Chains A and B, each alone.
Chain A
Amino acid sequence: MTHTLLVLSLMIANRSSAVAADRILIGEVGSLTGAEATFGDSTRKGIDLAITDINAKGGVKGKKLEVKVYDDQGKPEEAATAMTRLIAQDKVTLVLGEVASSRSLAMAPIAERNKIPMITPSSTNPRVTKDGKKVRDFVFRVCFIDPFQGTVMAKFTRKNLKLSKVAILRDVGNDYSMGLADYFTAKFKELGGTIVADESYKAGDQDFKAQLTSLKGKKPEAVFIPGYYTDVALIARQARELNMKQPLLGGDGWESAKLYEIGGSALDNSYFSNHYSTDDPNPKIQNFVKRYKNTYGEVPDSMSALAYDAAMIAAEAMTKAKDLSGEAIRQILASTKGFKGVTGIINIDQDHNAVKPAVVLRIQDKKPHYVTTISP
């Protein structure tokens, strides 16, 4: 039986390598449309830039890299379908994506089952790479995780802003938001702060005034809203309409130019944690920002930067691996140490997470400004 399977898998391997003799196909799943469309779009652009760079230097193992991308419209079920399609139909070597944790969580078990390495550029929920106590062998990420991100914001609020009363408004249907809110709460309480209220909303809601009014009554000094940018922008507007002047706090889900388009000046004087800052003078970052601007005419957000790093790490792993099998690539990925990415030095730990510092940005005049860096 094992023997037959082996022969069969060899035949399949042969067939796919025959199809792709001069190129290596990698897959990408992203929210190119939908409520988080800028996440997918920025990721797409970051990966494209990386692939151009890699191919300009001769590609991987003498072959050009090519990306097959599917849109999931921001829906977990579509992400799962796209993942299956990439693996079964397009026979990709490796998959990059998704940004949102709930979508990556839908894709991770499929990667695992088919032994195809998957690198998520920016999903921060711990369960993406770790299923219960077991680390998913084939799933990696190049960003930090929510326990760290939540801790960073709690530390920052308590120590830098010196606030002690914070209210939380979380998105109940979102793994990312729930995780971040929980880790923030734990750390903030540990540091001697109090959570005066913990309310929830559902992504796509239009009206948040009920929750905000009741939060306002509890007189918090800041409101932590670990959601995605479209909802956050509306929440911020409605909070200001209710005369709430507190700073709002958030995570990397705020990272989008759309946040300022919808929210306008309502977000001024708010803070969010992020993966990197374009204000950083580091030449690696400035060089990336410059080239990205030249190519796309816009400033790269952190989703683009992480996508660039994810594609670069994937290319490096494929180059170093003894062959292009999932298992070989996976082993190299798991041992990544000291990779110099745009978003910092990336070391993959035993849980397949990248260990690196986070930055905190302050929004002023509809633009994010660098405040501080907080290390793990």
Chain B
Amino acid sequence: MSEFLQHLVNGISLGTIYALIALGYTMVYGVLKLINFAHGDVYMVGAFGGFYLAHLLGVNDSPSLPKTLVVFVGSMLICGTLGFLIERLAYRPLRYRPRLTALITAIGISFLLEFGFQLPRWSFMPFDFPPGPTPRFFPELFPRTIWFNIGEVSISNYDALALGVAILFMVGLEFIIYRTKFGVAMRAVSFDPNIAGLMGIPVDRIISGTFILGSVLASVAALLVSISRPRIDPIMGLMPGLKAFVAAVFGGIGNVPGAMVGGLILGLSEEFVAGYMLSSFRDAIAFAILILVLLFRPEGLFGRITTEKV
């Protein structure tokens, strides 16, 4: 029983991470019909942003809550800016080109970030950037303590923080999408960008905002991961990015609650497969789920079937 509970805790903590990343994919798809393959790498930049900030603040010598907050907010700003720039410089010029062009550009941006970060340090940089391919140790922002035990399963402040912050951001996102003017505009653009434009909605600004929002969520996910699994490297975004994409498709791409549920289900199923069946099939399962969903429910769990009107 306690083993099952432990798997459940692990699976949920993994799933919330996938969910946070999946939200970025799904929102961008919602407004642009573009799969932003660079999203996993924005996640990686989030981790490195936090890493550099933590070193700048000297977190190693004296971990504290205010410093943790600065690291989080700073990394979110860095990722938000990056998301904005990627959209502005790489995707916007191609918006009215065939969709494949933007998709390939997304893959290009992804490679640029992954391999750019693997370059040796530039001599004019005041700090160790680019970091190179060697994994770095993410400093401890605050000490890990056990909060309470259920049988043999212990819940630490790390687990609680990860879940709490993830839920906070998801609820916040729901609020933004359904209760604010920006959210209304976003949904309108997602429905039809041309008509939304005719109605006086600043489409460009809404799309920029969507990218910023998605990138901020990715940086939060990256920091939550790095705190408990403190090894970061330039290709760390590859697998989580792919899996979060699977989660987004699974939940119905373009659908916000779908991405959350998709992420959780993927995290849990991966955990239980690795725990009770063959651990080497862990990643295979994630992609098997994708194939099965696409076979039987191409629109995903929560997706709507859109009929093409001729």
Contacts and interface: CB of A to CB of B under 8 A. Distances in A.
B192 interface: no
B105 interface: no
A214 interface: yes
B137 A261 contact: yes
Of the four ranges (under 10, 10 to 19, 20 to 34, 35 or more), the interface on chain A belongs to 20 to 34
Interface in A227-286: 230, 233-234, 237-238, 241-243, 258, 261-262
B133 A33 contact: yes
Contacts of B280: 172, 200, 202
Contact of A243 (B152, B235, B239, B283): B152
A52 interface: no
Contacts of A210: 7, 10-11, 270-275, 279, 282
A200 B275 CA distance: 11
A35 B136 CA distance: 9
Interface residues of B, number: 39
Given A201-B279, A238-B229, A209 B137 contact: no
Contacts of A262: 137, 230-231
Interface string A205-221: 11101110110110000
Given A33-B134, A172-B280, A230 B271 contact: no
Contacts of B135: 35, 230
B156 A214 contact: no
A200 B279 contact: yes
Contacts of A261: 137
Interface string B175-205: 0000000000000000000000000000000
22 contacts: A33-B118, A33-B120, A35-B134, A73-B118, A74-B133, A199-B274, A199-B279, A200-B278, A200-B279, A204-B233, A204-B239, A205-B239, A210-B7, A210-B271, A210-B279, A213-B275, A214-B274, A237-B229, A241-B144, A242-B6, A243-B154, A262-B231
Interface of A: 33-35, 37, 73-74, 172, 199-202, 204-207, 209-211, 213-214, 216-217, 230, 233-234, 237-238, 241-243, 258, 261-262
Given A204-B239, A216-B3, A217-B3, 16 more contacts: A33-B120, A33-B134, A35-B133, A35-B135, A199-B274, A202-B280, A202-B282, A204-B235, A205-B239, A206-B231, A209-B10, A209-B271, A210-B11, A210-B273, A213-B3, A234-B231
